[in-house]
Structure 1
Amino acid sequence: MKLFVLAVFAALAVGTNSQGFKCPPKDGQYEDSRQCDKYYDCIDGEAVAKLCPDGLVFDPLIRKRNKCDQPFNVDCGDRTELQNPQPRGPCPRRNGFFAHEDPAVCNKFYNCIEGESIEITCTNGLHFDEFSGTCVWPASAGRQGCVETSNILKDGFSCPGGGASKDANGNKVVHPKFAHPTDCQRFYVCLNGIEPRDLGCQVGEVYNEDTQRCDSPENVPGCEDWYKDDPAAPASKPSKKN
């Protein structure tokens, strides 16, 4: 998932002290030799030192007036220094894309614009990669200790791994179903084999794991008497004969 966020950032002047920087003959904006988010605005040979908004860095290769961009888009080279961070809430700097503050939550991140954060969830199965500012496959992100809490239901069920589910004919099941271990009426569906949903049959029916459908209790061994004490349940249907 690639994100494109449009925002207008104003550069911050840090005073007329250019610390000995000598402007080239051509007016323009030029990078500092040590600090990646600092640059010089040269007009008529006079240099004014400026800073990019906190979290952004200066890219001399951008062919537009605003040359401050996300760090993952810029090769700073030996310009390793940065201004002091200005954190706010979950944003370690005022601008940028940042991982969730809980290192176990790898599928969520923040888009910070001038200290205002927007929490974003990756497409299911992907992890946020701070080096690229995008959501990628877990193997590419290489993050450790991730816990996919969004893929665990309140009762503890999570979709089993081990490859794609197949039906009796050997065909791939895109959204496999699983019986509830203690409730005959309920069952689980794993969307795309990953994201669990807790569903249930209508009153009077139970889930048949063999047919992967809701069925009459008489057709599901162990669930024949599931509704015997439920006066609201409709009368049982006769067992199906082959």
Structure 2
Amino acid sequence: MSTGRHWTSLIVLVGTAALASCAQVEDPCKTKSRVVADDKYCDKYWECDNGQSIQYDCPNGLVFAGKHRGVTEGCDYPWRSNYCEYPKVQTNPPIGTEHCDWLYGIFGHETSCTRYWTCWNGTATEQLCIGGLLYNENAHSCDWPENVDGCQKHPLCNEDPNGNVPLGKSCNRYWQCQGGYPRLQRCPAMLVFDRRSLRCVVPPTEECDVPTTTAPPPEEDQQDLRQGQQQPQKRPGNDYQEQQGRQRPRN
């Protein structure tokens, strides 16, 4: 939680009075965690500060998940673990920026089924679904194409929606199109992918000798899928979420 708070006695009194008016809100100063959820709004919570109950707002687009949980400040994305279920609602309106419906969140791309945006404090970072996956707006993550409605077929499979496509310079990996969507495949041991017959064969071929046991570099998996576009940025993990400390918005 943030430090360096300077509250006037009036704000403390107002916060205490508001807490007292909500009988269902547990006094955070009487709990071990010193933090409790608001009883009506899932994007607000109460914290004990110097013996007083103070109400805080989660960053715009996030909801309260619990102390030391979520992506920042005890707050998380609304769709995770059903943190914001009826009758609770988000009371703060969305603050939108370019590509971001809220300051924090994960949002679909405007023109691509294989890309999406991660938004952190209003700054959008473009991400890419690899391995033949598409962005699923309902799951807020990359998913198998059959689980994604309303998305166009992948351009890799334009020539044959159920055929095979070479993967860069790889000798044992290739794309297998299934209903117009590519999935990454690997030839069985000691076989190589033949670019002419578009299937796994006994080596050698014009491009490949006996396959090695060394896996190709990760970027080789992506170069055909990107079709000349720049390399994608990594999907955010713990390092993405554990950024520098940020000042919490106060109610």
* TM-score interval for Structure 1 and Structure 2 normalised by the shorter chain: 0.5 to 0.7
1:151 aligns with 2:155: yes
Structure 2 Cα separation of the partners of residues 9 and 91 of structure 1: 25
Structure 2 Cα separation of the partners of residues 9 and 85 of structure 1: 23
Structure 1 Cα separation of the partners of residues 127 and 55 of structure 2: 35
Q: Pairwise CA RMSD of aligned residues?
A: 4.0
> Structure 1 residues 136, 20: closer, same or farther in 2, change over 3 A?
same
Aligned counterpart in structure 2 of residue 193 of structure 1, from 131, 153, 176: 176
3-state DSSP of counterpart to 2:146: helix
Provide the aligned length of Structure 1 versus Structure 2.
Answer: 163
1:137 aligns with 2:144: yes
1:45 Cα deviation from its structure 2 partner? 4.7
Q: How does 1:58-77 map to 2 (within 5 A)?
A: 58-60=64-66, 62=68, 66-75=73-82, 76-77=84-85
Q: How does 1:49-64 map to 2 (within 5 A)?
A: 49-60=55-66, 62=68
1:98 paired residue number: 107
2:129 paired residue number: 122
Q: Deviations over 1:156-203 (max 9, x none)?
A: x824123x55xxxxxxxx739xxxxxxxxxxxxx941346xxxxxxxx
CA contact (8 A) 1:28 1:41 kept: yes
3-state DSSP of counterpart to 1:42: strand
Structure 2 Cα separation of the partners of residues 112 and 134 of structure 1: 14
Residue 161 of structure 1 aligns with an amino acid whose one-letter code is P
Between Structure 1 and Structure 2, the one with more helix by share is 2
> Structure 1 residues 51, 111: closer, same or farther in 2, change over 3 A?
same
Identity %: 23
1:109 paired residue number: 116
> Structure 1 residues 47, 131: closer, same or farther in 2, change over 3 A?
farther
1:44 Cα deviation from its structure 2 partner? 5.0
Structure 1 Cα separation of the partners of residues 47 and 124 of structure 2: 30
3-state DSSP of counterpart to 1:192: strand
Task: Give the alignment's TM-score, normalised by structure 1.
Answer: 0.54
Structure 1 unaligned regions, length at least 5: 1-7, 166-173, 177-189, 196-207, 215-242
Structure 1 Cα separation of the partners of residues 198 and 93 of structure 2: 62
1:66 Cα deviation from its structure 2 partner? 2.8
Residue 19 of structure 2 aligns with an amino acid whose one-letter code is F
> Structure 1 residues 128, 83: closer, same or farther in 2, change over 3 A?
same
Select the structure of larger CA radius of gyration.
Answer: 1
Residue 20 of structure 1 aligns with an amino acid whose one-letter code is A
CA contact (8 A) 2:114 2:134 kept: yes
Task: Give the alignment's TM-score, normalised by structure 2.
Answer: 0.52
Structure 2 unaligned regions, length at least 5: 21-26, 168-172, 183-194, 200-204, 207-251
Q: How does 1:1-242 map to 2 (within 5 A)?
A: 16=12, 17-18=14-15, 20-22=18-20, 23-24=27-28, 25-26=30-31, 28-60=34-66, 62=68, 66-75=73-82, 76-78=84-86, 79-102=88-111, 105-140=112-147, 142-144=148-150, 146-148=151-153, 151=155, 158-162=158-162, 164=163, 175=166, 191-194=174-177
Q: Deviations over 1:55-103 (max 9, x none)?
A: 211013756993111223242223222411110101111111111134x
1:52 Cα deviation from its structure 2 partner? 0.9
Structure 1 Cα separation of the partners of residues 35 and 49 of structure 2: 9
CA contact (8 A) 1:126 1:138 kept: yes
Q: Deviations over 1:8-35 (max 9, x none)?
A: 999x999654362242523611111221
